[in-house]
């Protein structure tokens, strides 16, 4: 039971060096940005002259942010497993 709880609520935030609440806030910000971008995309579908590059530019920026967070989490997992060599 505790292992399941840790897997669901503790392990991943710890991997990205955040508390549960900090991780929830960061994830919520991404989610809210995506909701806003979904609205822009639908508006662009109706009126092609608006938000011509808004969504694509924002998604590219968000992908870079997420990639950095993912790399940090991977490095944390590797350090915890004892296979991290910063010289590589």
Parse the chain into domains and list their residue ranges.
Answer: 2-81
Instruction: Tell me the three state secondary structure of residue 8.
Output: helix
Residue pointed to by tokens 């579908």: 45
The pLDDT of residue 68 is above 90: no
Which tens digit of pLDDT belongs to each residue from 14-58?
Answer: 888 889 999 999 999 999 999 999 999 999 999 999 999 999 999
Model confidence at 77, pLDDT cuts 50, 70, 90, reads confident
Dig out the tokens for 34 from the structure: 């995506």
Instruction: Give the global pTM.
Output: 0.69
In degrees, rounded to 5, the angle at the alpha carbon of residue 16 between the alpha carbons of residues 14 and 22 is: 75
Classified as helix, coil or strand, 51 is coil
* pLDDT exceeds cutoff 70 at 85: no
């Amino acid at each position: 039971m505790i292992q399941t709880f840790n897997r669901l609520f503790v392990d991943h935030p710890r991997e990205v060096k955040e508390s549960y609440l900090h991780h929830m806030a960061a994830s919520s910000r991404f989610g809210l940005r995506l909701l806003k971008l979904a609205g822009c995309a639908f508006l662009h579908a109706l009126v092609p002259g608006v938000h011509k590059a808004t969504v694509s530019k924002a998604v590219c920026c968000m992908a870079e942010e997420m990639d950095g967070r993912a790399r940090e989490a991977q490095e944390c997992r590797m350090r915890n497993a004892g296979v991290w060599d910063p010289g590589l």
